[in-house]
Amino acid sequence: MFNSYTFFTLIVALMATNVYFPNYRHKSLSIFSFAAGWLTGELALHHIAWQIGITFLFVIFGEITGGLDGLCLVVCVLCWLALARFHFRGIDARAKMETALTHALGASYMDEILPEYKSQCLDAGIDRTALLRPFKRDRTGVEVIKDLSFDHQGLKLDLYLPASRSSNAPVLMQIHGGAWTENKGSKNEQAIPLMLHMARRGWACVAISYRLSPKATFPEHIIDCKAALAWIKQHITEYGGDPEFIVVTGGSAGGHLSSLLTLSANDPEFQPGFEQVDTQVQGCVPFYGVYDFTDAKRRMPNPGLKQMLENSVMKKSLEDHQEAYLSASPINRITDQAPAFLIIHGDKDSLVPVTMGRDFASALQATSNEPVAYAEIKGAQHAFDLFASPRSEHVKLGIARFLTWLYCRYLRQKDSA
């Protein structure tokens, strides 16, 4: 007979199934599938714990009786085993990151890291405390300066700096995601684990804001990002940073904007009023970005992105304004002069299909003279890196190795110039 424990078992089964088989096809269901899969998959052990706790309460209050309830208990146990397997498979992210780095940088890339920086890569392991409390932000060793104005449209940025500041620190610029849209993302909650990690290792990290749709219309989003970069280049020395070495990162809409910023250096269309400012950066680390607004290869499994771009972000149709969509697409701006890239995408992403990341990486690898690493993270949903999990921790450490290698190469080139 259907009862409350049967209903509970159905929820448990749906959550576990969605982690392995997210929905891509239906616009609304794909959003729900993302939210459920993201929180369940990356917090699998936490979900197992509360589900076991509730099951124990069902037992205490005598709600589990008879054959059907016994079968439901078996189903729950199988779901917990599946979630545990998913959790521990997150450790595979280390191998994925290392394979991507050795393929792009060479098998001996760690030997090219200067001795004084090698400890940044070798002494860092998984933050097991963070795995237990994934939403806690440990700011030990980091100075945080919030809401500095960068003198453009009333927008602000945050700094994450080494507590013991030095001079000429490498700079990491973070562009947040959130569908380019108000109330879906901000500089306050994204990439915090990565910025704290890099700040402890001597980097000056900058999380910027930009105008958001539907009030903002593209290209205002990228213009704001360029204005923030111009401010960083002018003022970061006041906070110990090196304006000559800046790498930009971001996820989702931030993956799009960080890639576009990197590949459209000094394009006057995107820097009106400050055309003379050099907006080149030394590298880019985009996460699960939208790299082709035209979706020329029909990678998007549902019309959600096209509708959002036409109605809210671009505010013009793709069919009538294809040139504007091409101009906004990072994949359309690749040249052999593109800086180094590390592209990261999860193979369970239900919002931006992994094939879009593959296409972008392949196009860069075929054209750019600089290293292009592509890490496809098994089991990772969209936004998987927002808090600590085995996947996000190993990806974070891999990014640190890439950034440190890139910075050491810059220092060697600077010394030999």
Catalytic residue positions? 252, 349, 382
Question: Widest CA span of the chain, in angstroms?
Answer: 79
Strand-pair partners of 250: 175, 286
Question: What does the alpha-carbon distance between residue 20 and residue 213 come to, in Å, rounded to a whole number?
Answer: 32
d(CA 403, CA 375) in angstroms, rounded, equals: 15
Give the span between the Cα atoms of 203 and 327, in whole angstroms. Answer: 32
In terms of C-beta density within 10 A (0-12 exposed, 13-18 middle, 19 or more buried), how is residue 238 classed?
Answer: exposed
Structure tokens at 149: 């104005």
- Do residues 330 and 250 make contact, with C-beta atoms less than 8 angstroms apart? no
Strands 204-208 and 156-162: antiparallel
Considering only CA atoms, which of 107, 52, 44 is closest in space to residue 76? 52
Q: For residue 89, what are the CA distances in angstroms to 42, 125, 391?
A: 11, 17, 8
Tell me how far apart the alpha carbons of residues 251 and 193 are, in angstroms, rounded to a whole number: 13
CA dihedral 277, 282, 288, 292 (to 10 degrees): 60
Cβ atoms 174, 187 nearer than 8 A: yes
**In 303-312, which positions are buried (b, 16+ CB within 10 angstroms) versus exposed (e)?**
ebbbebbbeb
Q: Which residues 6+ apart lie within 8 Å of 413 measured at CB?
A: none
Structure-block tokens of residue 298? 């029909």
Q: What tokens does 135 get?
A: 């939403």
From CA 158, how far away is CA 161, in angstroms rounded?
Answer: 10
**Which element (helix H / strand E) includes 286?**
strand 283-287
**Among 284, 310, 298, residue whose Cα is nearest residue 359:** 298
19 contacts 44 by C-beta, under 8 angstroms: yes
Q: Tell me which DSSP letter residue 179 carries.
A: T
